[in-house]
Amino acid sequence: MDASEVAEIMDNAVGTVFSTMLGTELAVARWEESAEPTRDAEVIALIGMGGEMRGSVSLQCEKSMACAFTARLLGMDASEVESDEDLRDGLGEVVNMIAGSLKTALLEHGSIEIAIPIVVLTPKCDIRIKAKFGVSVTFTDTLGEFVVDFVLEADPPS
């Protein structure tokens, strides 16, 4: 399994979650192979993976986007998302669904167990992840761009 195959799997997984659960269509702006992604974002939702394919999936975006994603998920107007706790719950659920979709798509390559999501809200958060293999995909929707990273601590299986 190479980086372009993983990027395609990520496009399908993230696209399905967003179209089905958030009612929005996405486009891939760009992707890159990156075993050590570094991001600067206001919101980072991260979920660890164990099993034969150990690593993580993370989504990084601005707080206004996180608010809109949460509102879409809950069928609300963005102005109705009132608390950081709502954002944590919403983005945690989004990254959980993305990780679950990736887990299903990658099942033929090895077992994956997903952990509970961690969501960090801050004026600007800098995250660095060191891994052996990784793919970063930048998506666009009507609000702008956001990034989803998938990293593994070992090379992916063939």
pLDDT value of residue 82: 83
Q: What does DSSP say about strands 112-114 and 38-51: parallel, antiparallel, or unpaired?
A: antiparallel
Task: Choose among 52, 59, 63, 42: nearest CA to 93.
Answer: 59
143/44 Cα distance (integer angstroms): 17
pLDDT value of residue 24: 92
pLDDT value of residue 156: 76
pTM: 0.92
- Listed by start position, the domains of the chain span 3-152
pLDDT value of residue 15: 96
CA dihedral 56, 61, 64, 68 (to 10 degrees): -60
- Taking each helix axis from N to C terminus, what angle separates 84-106 and 3-21, rounded to the nearest 10 degrees? 130
pLDDT value of residue 10: 96
How many Cβ atoms from other residues are within 10 Å of residue 76's Cβ?
A: 15
pLDDT value of residue 157: 74
In Å, how far are 68, 86, 121 from 76, measured between CA atoms? Answer: 9, 12, 21
pLDDT profile of the chain (158 residues), mean per 10: 92 96 94 80 92 92 93 90 90 96 92 94 72 91 93 81
Decide which of 1.10.3720.10, 3.40.50.150, 3.40.1550.10, 3.30.930.10 is the CATH code for 3-152: 3.40.1550.10
